[in-house]
Structure 1
Amino acid sequence: MMKSGKKQIVYDENSGRFFESNKDEGDCIPDEEFCVIDKDSGTMIRLTVEEKERIFLDALQAYYFDNRQMLNDDEFDLLKEDLQWNGSEVVQMNRKEATYLAAVQDYMKGTPSMADGEFDALKKELMEAGSVFAVAKEPQCYIDTGICKVTLQEDNFRMNLLYLPASTIIFVAWLGLGFEFIEPIIRLNPIILALLGTPFVVQGSKFITDNFLFQNSYVAYGPCPSCQASNRVYFGDILGVEGFDAVATVKCPNCKETFNVQRNTLRASTLPKA
């Protein structure tokens, strides 16, 4: 099929000839492509490839993450075939992505098929590879439920900052003890003394931080599922005070919308509309 002006040029297999159809450029042909229906006019609307990819990903994630079917089998097959004909890479799922989605579905059903450590490693690998199935960086809202969702990301920078207080104290203490006890015996350059204490500082700060300051800590960041404003979430305890464990409930400071964040998948979702 080709476009000519505002009309479409269609190939007729029976006659072996091209002819101008009575379809405008914006008209959608439901037998040949995936279409949506305009609620006001009831007419078929042609979507862009990007819009079709978004619907395809929404349908997959709704099925695997929420155990909910957005499209029936015929609609999904038509959409997938349409995207394949348009050369979309979204429909090409590799083995690791298929394994990840299957593991998520099993977890949502209450029958986990993969250990937490193995799942986290697989998810991290897919996220680093930029897989669209593991990361939904832009919020997605579902009209039927009113729920908006997005995938947050691990905040490695701030997670490393958690070790700064303990490491600073231990480092200063090491230098003080070094000059107090080692300096009278062997005269060392302060840089060498600092390097010698690095393993002790690293291990000591990790032990103190993980066991006494920030227990079971995990920091994530990303856009609010509702307004896309930047938010950060801290999982774990602080100085013995219990914090969020498996699920964090966050209130966006920008739009005041409350949403939940799953620690194991970093999936953030707003609460169902009343």
Structure 2
Amino acid sequence: MKKVLLLILLFICGFYFSQQIHVKYLRVLSSFTTSYEDLYIKNNQVLSIQDSIIINNRLTDSWTLGVNLDNGKKPTKQYFVSDLDKDKNDETEKNFFFTSNVDSREFFIYDKVPKPDWKIEENQIKTIAGYKCIKATGTFRGSKIIAYFTKDLPYSTGPFKFYGLPGLILDIRAENKDYNIWKAESVDVNDKTAVTFKPQFLKKEKISLKDYVAAKEAHMNKIFAKVADALPKTNFKTKITTNQRFTVEQKYEWENDSETK
């Protein structure tokens, strides 16, 4: 009987890992705007693609104009490339390669992402995209996060750079915020989309994560300075705070507390 159960389990695992999985996430960028992120999984390969099209916030039904801050250049999709580690239970960090652009410069960045110290709450259950999901909490680069994952899809991964749970993450968000949210809208376990899981980005400039973060924040600070200069001159002092991070990544591994205050 045990051998039969083992064979059934192996068959199920073999079926899932031979198929291409596609998860479409609604990605909440701010209180007003959202976009989409598409996650593809096949044969231990993972590719996540963030759409550049900004739409109204479907969670709050609010709307604002999406402002392109990259010198009027049409934003491009961003790619996140990784793998499923066979020894996922022992994995303490994962290699990611991702693309981004800053001030019309297109980058290809390598990132070694630490695994969140997850706490699983087996009794906290909800259904997402038709799957029974279990709650987990943790900390990701300075942000407290709440995730819901499903053991019915045995992949230790999720959108963006999230991973490390014993099942696919279908909902993840920064705690106590109405943005930095990824929520699965659909799951296709037999997807036929033609996907290149190891895309080549030969025309993009290779840069370290630390240098990329510095370039991005210097660019944003220039924008903040322009906004401050454009404000009406009054007797009241208006302070524009620089070095703000509007992403879920609030603190990186090379930073200490004094650098991020």
TM over 0.5: no
TM-score, structure 2 normalization: 0.24
More strand by share: 2
Q: Which has more radius of gyration?
A: 1
More helix by share: 1
TM-score, structure 1 normalization: 0.23
